Amino acid sequence: MPVFKNIDRKFYPVDWAYKTSVAILGATRERGFNYNMRHFKIDVGGFIPLHKHRKIFHLQYVLRGKMRLIIGDEEYIVGPGDVLYLPSGIPHKYINIGDEPVEFLCITPLYVNEMELLEEIKR
């Protein structure tokens, strides 16, 4: 099926991040795809802690908000319309620095997710 109509974007908390949730969109393994497409939301004051994936790269599109993105030793301020590419194996972190939620789409290949969390969240 080439079109998934009216996908129900039910957001679930990301338990290893702070004030962050995710919705899995229509492209899933069960539907025969070899990639994931997700919609992330980072609330004001929220962040996704420093982590990395051994095999998974990320291609992302920022829909809303302003965030600091750390990729390896580099930092970027990104916002709506920005496209992000995060190579596999490189530590990365997302921090909402604005006064509204950050929302972005994330596409990754469907490998076993071997995520390594590189910092703990202090709640």
The low-confidence residues of the chain, meaning pLDDT below 70, are 1-2, 4-8, 26-31, 111-113, 123
- At 29 the pLDDT is 64
Distance separating alpha carbons of residues 96 and 17, to the nearest angstrom: 12
- At 82 the pLDDT is 98
- At 28 the pLDDT is 64
- At 37 the pLDDT is 86
- At 123 the pLDDT is 62
Distance separating alpha carbons of residues 96 and 5, to the nearest angstrom: 30
- At 5 the pLDDT is 66
User: 47 burial class (0-12, 13-18, 19+ CB within 10 angstroms)?
Assistant: buried
Q: Which residues lie below 8 Å from residue 39, measured CB to CB, with a gap of 6+?
A: 9, 11, 22, 23, 25, 103, 104, 105, 106
Count of other CB atoms within 10 angstroms of residue 61: 14
- At 44 the pLDDT is 98
Closest CA to 117 of 50, 40, 72: 50
**What is the DSSP code (8-state) at residue 34?**
S
pTM of the model: 0.90
